Structure 1
Amino acid sequence: MSGKVTLIGAGPGDPELITLKGLKRLRAADVIIHDLLIPISLLEEAKDGAEIIDAGKAPDAHKLKQDQINETIIDRAKRGLHVVRLKGGDPYIFGRGDEEALICHEHSIPVEVVPGISSVTSVPLYAGMPLTHRSPERTISGFMAITGQEDPTKPTTNLDYALLAKFDGTLMILMGLKQMPHIFAKLIECGRSADTPAAVVEWGATDKQRIVTGTLTTLPQLAEAANIGVPASILIGETVMLQDRLPVGVGLDDEQTT
């Protein structure tokens, strides 16, 4: 008898941001396989006897490789168990949830995907930097989110820096802290103004949130001086300048450091 798999987006860090459906499925799980960046207090919602497996991936330190995660999901589901794969953010936004859902499909295992609030939208909000903005002076009508962490085995980049430099909206980079100096230099080289406002948000949407602001020229040095570490999200564009007029960290328990 085959079990089933539920991929759940746990949200960006605040445990109260998981959806009602996600919480319901989590409480019913026989097995919970969780990522590093989930709100760890959510594991207290597991039912008695549930197996909890830490599959966290830190830079250069993976507790389970992706193939091992896939094998564990399939193994437990084939035992007839309800497996919850608990992921930070949203399963389908830089989360490899689609890969895991496809593996389940290949093994004819029923799979459900419960969306989560992504850091793409929530971290800018908690940092007081909207992705879009309308005003009489200037309207920011779009945004783009990319990953700064590409496949290290590939000799070339998938990023079109000329296109990114010309993009007239807010640019958000996830998992790009290590590559920030290189990315910023390429944007400037391709025509983006060196004075473009930019910010980096460490541990966004959590009580450990820290924000450093600057420009494409100054932010890499400012972030290094502030000892900014991962996880970190980078924002580029004029809406960064709205931070001093919008709520920052609203709804978080502790005072934020900016």
Structure 2
Amino acid sequence: MPGTYRERPSLLDGAVLWRREADPAPAPDAAAYPVLPDGCMDLVLLDGRLIVAGPDTRAHGTSDSPGGRFAGIRFAPGTGAAFLGVPAHALRDLRVPLDEVWAKGVAREASGRIAEAADPLLALEEFALRRAADAGPWDPVIRAVAAGLEAGATVGAAADAVGLGARQLHRRSLDAFGYGPKTLARVLRLQRALGLVREGTPFAEAAYRSGCADQAHLAREARELAGMTLRAYTALMAARYARSSAKIDTPSPSGSSTTA
């Protein structure tokens, strides 16, 4: 990918901290790197403002400015909505300033403190830890559903494991994940498959190991959710790797390069 991207686990349960520096002089033929659905939500510091990246159902193109710097915290599926105190479906496929989600004074004060800190990423983590402590523990039922689907369980099996009926699970999933459990299962399955593809696994094997019916099934999911064919994805990854001074296996998280 252009520029550099680094991430590390956060002290906040299930979250990941990341930094991104865009290429100061991107190649004229550099293709936009798509930010793919991953079931997560992000809080992104951009130009001194905190931006909320909602859960995605489709790929988003990047909008980097040369030399731009980004920092963010990526919340595990089902936890971002609890942190923000709003239903995830209200933010689906959106990138909005935090002051449109919280009271403007609260959001702007938080943005100012974090942006002016010696280490904004550390300040962002400390802010998230304080806010999460006030919000209380993550919903264990939702975390169990997300873990089950991420491991490849069917929606029915995930519901049975936590004792929820289909309607209950769907309603709670809309609030927690931004979409129903079937969509989340598709998103997480595609992420598993693309992770295998990035490792060099043949398409047919990646489809089988990720839980798709066959390679054609995986190809359809890639077109619908990632907006590209599998071959186009591998070509883009190869081009990004060729331009990078070091291989970075983890794609940008939701919202890391796309803002309102």
TM bucket, shorter chain? under 0.3
**Higher share of residues assigned strand:** 1
The structure with higher relative contact order (CA 8 Å, sep 6+) is 2
**Higher share of residues assigned helix:** 2
Higher Rg of the two aligned structures: 1
